[in-house]
Structure 1
Amino acid sequence: MSATRLLVLGVVRMYGRAHGYQVRRELLTWSADKWASVQPGSIYHALKKMAAEDLLEQVEVEPGESGPDRVAYRITKEGDQEFHLLLAKALSEPTATAAEVAAGVSFLTALPRQRAISLLEHRLVVLESEERSASLMIRDTAHWEKAEHVAELFRLWSAQARTGLEWTRSLIERLTAGEYEMADDPSR
């Protein structure tokens, strides 16, 4: 999975149609260049690649539309499916990179409320398992004669899992309480 791919699809989807300059400008306002290492070249490359994969389709830029680009993009049905798949993975899989999770959180409200909660609950189950596994590995290092310092790696994994659990539980609570306007809320 790629944070850039999810971000680019999401921004094009959000606008309905967008050109590369618009996507780049939007992502810069989110500081995605810092937390996801999204660079201008990677945005334009992603747009062209996803157009070749039929996830995006090229459309003419309207006269007077701002930006230097001559081509705009619109998400296809397949692109929307890919967006939702990437979004689900970013929110549910604890193995997702920090950039992928951040990209997923950026588009959290594109999901129906219960779907978002379900994905996060899946994340909880896996994180609980990872935290338990790391704790068991820490306990087992007491019997090692050499390389006992490797227990620090297991302590790191345990701490990361606990932090992920705390954040995920908190987000589920906020969503359950009705925080954020989600895709299936009546006002949308």
Structure 2
Amino acid sequence: MSSIRLFILGSLDQRGPMHGHGLLLLAEEEHIDLWTDFAASAVYGAMKRLAAEGLIVEDRVERQGNYPERQVYRISDAGRIALHDLRRQGLVEIVIKPDPVDLALARLDPEGLDELPVIIEERLARLRTHLEEYTTHLEEVDKYLSVAEVWSMRHQLSRWRGEVAWHEELLTALPDIITDEKELSTKGHD
């Protein structure tokens, strides 16, 4: 499932023909980087691919003031079919990506065990800060969002809360983890 394709096709379907810069402004306005898995900088490349596939088509060329000419695109009939499929995929598929912390935790450095609590405390502090910033941001933009957009952002917020809770539990389990790792390390050298 491609989030950027869904964003572009969905935006053109809902808002009408737009040029790439307009899509970038929309992504910025909707703070897409906070609740999707793509960077707005990928919009132009994705638009080229969508146009090559016939999912978006040239609508007109626009020029405003001294700005360069901009190609305005609209969604095609084939694009609407693809959009329908992307929307369905987005609702059906479950995506939870692995976090490198899990592998690092499973393969701890025996020489760095004593510094592990500080590393996890710092990581937890960064997560709490991000959660606080995200919560504040959601409260600030809530009034500008549709009900569905609020729920999308709340989903991300619940994921951050889950990360904070897991790290808090990990922090309390660290003495047992460190003891176990030291014992394993000693057994490995026998």
For this structure pair, what is the TM-score category when the shorter chain's length is used for normalisation?
Answer: 0.3 to 0.5
User: Bigger radius of gyration, 1 or 2?
Assistant: 2
* TM-score, length-scaled by structure 1: 0.47
